[in-house]
Amino acid sequence: MNVTVLGIGLMGLPMGKRLREAGFAVTAWNRTQEKALRLASHGARVAHTAAQAVREADVVITMLDNGDVVESVLFGQGVAQVLKPGTLVIDMSSIKPAQARHHAKRLADYHVAHLDAPVSGGTVGAEAGTLAIMAGGDAADFERALPVFAPLGRATHVGPHGAGQLAKLANQMIVGITIGAVSEALLLAARGGADMAKVREAIRGGFAESRVLEVHGQRMVERDFAKRAALTVQLKDMRNALDTAGELDFQAPITQLFEDLYASAAEHGYAELDHSALFRELARRNGMP
């Protein structure tokens, strides 16, 4: 099976490596070709253009910044026009559900199948092959995709086109809000004179336990905010959630509050750090180093 990966960034690179290790023939493309060349040493073919990359593909995976970029690559750079009929496009980017539905409809005009299958787990999950994959689209296409998903993580079919992106928005709402809760709680403990690391240790295993407390809480203790999942991406996802809530006439006041907090963090110089750097914004507001 020939698999093309469009977008060789923080997530696309380890995903491409795992596909090669699983025996797939992989073709890579990235707007900045130097990033795609990192997969060449793992046996991937590197294409100069997105259209060249997909000509012989059976499956195309997109892992791009946002829905507008996905649309530009698929329909503005000649990709859709050169895909073989029956090709399966799996968009693993995080975009708006409405955009995913629109892309699926347009690709169907070219007799090309589509799944929206965003992921959760960050670069750690991508490297380990433990990503949570949330797929929307036809059940038959999901079954076709299972061999490709297998080396990447655990895939769940959650509904029709756009449902995968809805699941990802739900995930990102929970992650983004929980990062804020853990940050604020640990900072409060520190302000009162408690050992923040020991507080985190004490509450682990109780009802406050979470993957965020485990992983991001440790980053907060160590003040390690090197980018694994960018704060700007978290902000984008919160905004996508609010846009989708508006389309559905749904009130999301908690998400709105955290969109404001992440936006403030970006404005104060934390945009290119990990999303756990919301901790730094809350520390800044409290005059804490």
Last residue of some domain: 160, 177, 200?
160
Q: In terms of domains, do 172 and 51 share one?
A: no
Q: In terms of domains, do 232 and 146 share one?
A: no
Catalytically annotated residue among 17, 168, 198, 227:
168
Confidence of residue 69 (pLDDT cuts 50, 70, 90): very high
Last residue of some domain: 106, 128, 160?
160
Is the pLDDT at 229 greater than 90, yes or no?
Answer: no
Q: In terms of domains, do 37 and 171 share one?
A: no
Average pLDDT rounded to a whole number, residues 25-44? 96
Q: Is 168 a catalytic residue?
A: yes
pLDDT attached to residue 168 = 97
Q: In terms of domains, do 90 and 143 share one?
A: yes
Please give the residue range of the domain that contains residue 215. 166-285
pLDDT attached to residue 289 = 86
Residue 26 CA: distances (Å) to CA of 69, 73, 87, 142: 21, 18, 15, 20
Last residue of some domain: 160, 190, 207?
160
Q: In terms of domains, do 133 and 28 share one?
A: yes
Average pLDDT, the chain: 97
CATH assignment of the domain containing 191: 1.10.1040.10
- Is the pTM higher than 0.85? The answer reads yes
If one counts the domains in the chain, the total is 2
Confidence of residue 5 (pLDDT cuts 50, 70, 90): very high
Cα 138 to Cα 162: distance, rounded to the nearest angstrom: 11
Q: Answer whether 234's CB lies under 8 Å from 275's CB.
A: yes
Candidates 58, 125, 44, 127; CA nearest to 90 is 58
Q: In terms of domains, do 124 and 190 share one?
A: no
Amino acid letter, 202: A
Q: Percent of the chain at pLDDT above 90? A: 98
Q: In terms of domains, do 128 and 181 share one?
A: no
Cα 205 to Cα 210: distance, rounded to the nearest angstrom: 8
Cα 76 to Cα 282: distance, rounded to the nearest angstrom: 41
Each residue of 170-222: pLDDT tens digit? 999 999 999 999 999 999 999 999 999 999 999 999 999 999 999 999 999 99
Q: In terms of domains, do 94 and 212 share one?
A: no
Q: In terms of domains, do 145 and 248 share one?
A: no
Q: In terms of domains, do 174 and 156 share one?
A: no
Q: In terms of domains, do 118 and 44 share one?
A: yes
CATH assignment of the domain containing 150: 3.40.50.720
Each residue of 123-168: pLDDT tens digit? 889 999 999 999 999 999 999 999 999 999 999 999 999 999 999 9
Q: In terms of domains, do 79 and 171 share one?
A: no
Average pLDDT rounded to a whole number, residues 265-287? 98
Q: Answer whether 185's CB lies under 8 Å from 206's CB.
A: no
pLDDT attached to residue 122 = 87
